DNA sequence: ACCTGAACACCGTTCAAGT
DNA sequence: ACCTGAACACCGTTCAAGT
């Protein structure tokens, strides 16, 4: 065929197909040849749009991060110098962040490596840090809070806790696991267990941070 | 050579070499052929000791989890029915857990998939859950705490937050990132930033959980 | 500019053959 | 039981060739 009059591929089409493949069959299923065949082109065609597979993966990752809502950070100034609204903003953002990642768990290991040079990831880091500083957090603490929130959210989106326990009851028969007698039932409640753990952890973190925020005011 | 009088390989030797390769060159560098050559044998030899590469990876993962200290959970009964010692136990365990994982960050994505049938991972889950229940936490909440602690620890060990920001100052020139002007310096303080974020998050989580534990007693 | 087939140096895994 | 080389169906990437 050689060059068609209207291109068969675009970065957007490639990224969308790659994400679908990763979601449905895992990160290992994404090969350039497999992806190309999914798009009805030959393997090397992809190299007209991305220099390497890593560059393609970067684009997939940034498209996922682009789904995270950052609008709650837009009006930090409106809360006044008190900045009392940061816990609500952090809560809303964490939920949106987790939802975006948990929709594509197979790509979380890649994304968790950090923002790199990906624009949406940098915008996210900028928004969180900026909001915390404008809310009165010292810059060093704002950095740590951005980091620890990412730890918690990526950890919770990386894999289901409940689904990590085999549903096969015999696994837990060994005398070594005296307290795991009911663990084979976890996988069946996968959604509620993981959701409950995330919400409990999020509220505990925010409570703990609020205690520290109050201490900032006491000793200025 | 065929069969030597004394075996060239053992599961232990293979696991140790695989972990070294993963630590030094990343998960992608672990191929059966490369690993075999590292051990001075031919590729297929490994299949006399592990059925598949996945089974080998499982053994590597469990060897890492085996390094986590669980001794702080051994004497829950000694604290009495009050169980006031669970925050200290959880803190010590989380630090040991993170240290074991952070020593081998490249394998954390595999390990974060859950315990599966790996004995050390199941022992760990059993010890945490058992201690929390014996400390007075209802079983459902104990499950969630085990989950959320794993979220936080795996997230913090998966990758350095600070190192995720390029040290190249030009990255942050774009007007899109008004608050990241100093972000290029993060990578230089990698250790302290990540350590500080982990400790801050851990203490915040424990404080938040202590608030909930106190509420258990109020409304029995 | 954008696609193709051929080619290179890799993969995980199977299997018959050797001791 | 435990190692080998040969083989199969895959990889990511390069490159000359086509329009």
Structure tokens at A12: 């957007």
| Mean pLDDT for back-to-back runs of 10 residues, chain B (220 residues) | 89 98 98 98 98 98 98 67 79 98 98 97 98 97 98 98 97 92 97 98 98 86
Burial of A27 (0-12, 13-18, 19+ CB in 10 A): middle
CB A145, CB A209: distance < 8 Å: yes
* pLDDT of A62 over the 80 cut: yes
* pLDDT of A81 over the 50 cut: no
Q: What DSSP string runs through A49-76? A: T-SSHHHHHHHHHHHHHTTS--GGGTTG
DSSP symbol at B66: T
The per-residue pLDDT for B175 is 85
Report the distance from CA of residue B119 to the C1' of nucleotide C14 in Å, as an integer: 30
CB A93, CB A72: distance < 8 Å: yes
Report the distance from CA of residue B37 to the C1' of nucleotide C19 in Å, as an integer: 22
Structure tokens at B109: 């994505």
The contacts of residue A9 (CB under 8 Å, 6+ apart) are A39, A41, A45, A46, A48, A49
Closest CA to A68 of A37, A90, A36, A42: A90
The per-residue pLDDT for A79 is 47
Length in residues, chain B: 220
Record: contact B151-A204, CB cut-off 8 A: no
User: How much of chain A exceeds pLDDT 90, in percent?
Assistant: 89
Gap between the Cα atoms of B203 and A70, Å rounded: 27
The pLDDT tens digits of the residues spanning A120-130 come to: 999 999 999 99
For residue B140, the chain A residues in CB contact (below 8 A) are: 196
How many other CB atoms sit within 10 Å of the CB of residue A156?
A: 30
Q: Can you give the residue ranges of every domain in chain A? A: 11-64, 70-218
Question: Looking at per-residue confidence, does A130 or A220 come out higher?
Answer: A130
**Class of B70-218 in CATH:** mainly alpha
Give CATH for domain B11-64: 1.10.10.60
User: How much of chain A exceeds pLDDT 70, in percent?
Assistant: 94
Record: contact B212-A204, CB cut-off 8 A: yes
Structure tokens at B211: 């608030």
Gap between the Cα atoms of B199 and B114, Å rounded: 24
């Amino acid at each position: 065929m050689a060059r068609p009059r209207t291109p068969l591929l675009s970065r957007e089409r490639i990224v969308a197909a790659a994400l679908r493949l990763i979601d449905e069959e895992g990160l290992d299923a994404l090969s350039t040849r497999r992806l190309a065949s999914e798009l009805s082109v030959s393997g090397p065609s992809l190299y007209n749009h991305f220099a390497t597979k890593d560059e393609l993966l970067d684009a997939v990752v940034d498209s996922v991060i682009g789904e995270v809502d950052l609008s709650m950070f837009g009006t930090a100034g409106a809360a006044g110098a008190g900045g009392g609204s940061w816990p609500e903003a952090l809560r809303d953002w964490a939920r949106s962040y987790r939802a975006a990642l948990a929709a594509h768990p197979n790509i979380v290991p890649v994304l968790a490596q950090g923002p790199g040079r990906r624009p949406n990831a940098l915008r996210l880091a900028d928004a969180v840090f900026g909001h915390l500083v404008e809310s009165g957090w010292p810059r060093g603490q704002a950095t740590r809070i951005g980091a620890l929130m990412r730890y918690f959210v990526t950890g919770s989106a990386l894999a289901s806790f409940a689904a990590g326990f085999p549903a096969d009851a015999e696994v837990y028969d060994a005398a070594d696991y005296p307290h795991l007698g009911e663990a084979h039932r976890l996988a069946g409640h996968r959604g509620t267990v993981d959701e409950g753990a995330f919400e409990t952890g999020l509220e505990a973190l925010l409570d703990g941070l609020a205690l520290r925020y109050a201490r900032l005011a006491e000793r200025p």
